[in-house]
Amino acid sequence: MPNFGIDISSEDIAFYRAHGWWVSGAILSDELLDNLVYAVARYAVGEADRPLPKPILPRWTGAPERGVRQADYLSLQLNTVLEFVCAPPLPQFACALSGATEVRLFHDQLIWKEPGGLGAQASVGWHTDRAYWQSCTSEQMLTAWIPLQDTTAEMGSLAVWDASHLWANTDDLHTFDQPDLQRLEDLARARNQAPKILVLPLRRGQVSFHHCRLVHGSYPNRTLTPRLAFAIHYQDGNNQHTARTNWSRGAIHLNDMLCRSRPDGLPDYSDPDICPMLYSLPDEST
């Protein structure tokens, strides 16, 4: 195995590839996380270091009426967030787990879940990231899910369907915004799939990585404290935009409007201003 300069074993990598998810130890310092929390607080009161290259989004999306808010592309708007996204060791872990020789940023997103529960409507629906990334050639993309505080099951930590990245017919789960988790579980069972649901409590400093085809979501935040999590979506160096003929709802990504165009006119997912290179394995032949 290549030497990534990080504390990850071949057993960790084998676990990720068998289960579709893996939780690290405490790999992020309080200083890094405090800086990220401060940047989020700046954004929440309307500050930014620069606007998005194109005004394609409101500052907040999601479903505020359900207590779930999202803020996209903070790394393109706040210097501190860009520094966080680029800083080791996260890109090295992403590279090791995915088996890629290099990883680029694809997208980042803050998910803010209000306290108090708001009933089942405050859930994040079972979905796959791949369902939203059908414009990509790669099926090895992955996400780092980073809690900004200790995140218990009661707070609505990330929950996964163990090993579901190996299933067929999950690329249609554009269901992040569908909070009826039981209905989605019943639909899976009707397709002869048997979800093994695991909630992943994380301490501050830990990170959960999950495969783009893994079904995941979360339950309501039933505590009195907001649950903040930051997701970094990684693409391997070989990923490109694909002009599919059977496009469905998830086949157009926001990157398509932000990235420069390739000579053939399609979006360039290697645009360094939108999707910078985060880590590349050293060339061992030199």
pLDDT tens, position by position, 167-194: 988 888 999 988 889 999 998 899 888 8
Determine the pLDDT at residue 248: 55
**Which class is domain 22-271?**
mainly beta
Banded model confidence at residue 163, pLDDT cuts 50, 70, 90: very high
**Rounded to an integer, what distance in angstroms lies between the CA atom of residue 137 and that of residue 134?**
8
Could you read off the pLDDT of 227-267 as tens digits, one per residue?
Answer: 999 999 999 999 999 976 555 555 789 999 999 999 999 99
CA atoms within 13 A on the CB side of 164: 31
User: Exposed, middle or buried by CB within 10 Å (0-12, 13-18, 19+), for 146?
Assistant: buried
Given a cut of 70, whether residue 200 has pLDDT beyond it is yes
Q: What's the mean per-residue pLDDT of the chain?
A: 92
pLDDT, mean of residues 41-47: 97
Given a cut of 70, whether residue 2 has pLDDT beyond it is no
pLDDT, mean of residues 49-53: 96
- Contact residues for 268 (Cβ-Cβ < 8 A; gap 6+): 241, 259, 260, 261, 262
At residue 73, what are phi and psi to the nearest 5 degrees? 55, 40
Could you read off the pLDDT of 109-152 as tens digits, one per residue?
Answer: 999 998 875 555 778 999 999 999 999 999 999 999 999 999 99
Determine the pLDDT at residue 123: 87
Q: What percent of the chain has pLDDT over 90?
A: 79
What is the domain partition of the chain in residue ranges? 22-271
pLDDT, mean of residues 72-82: 98
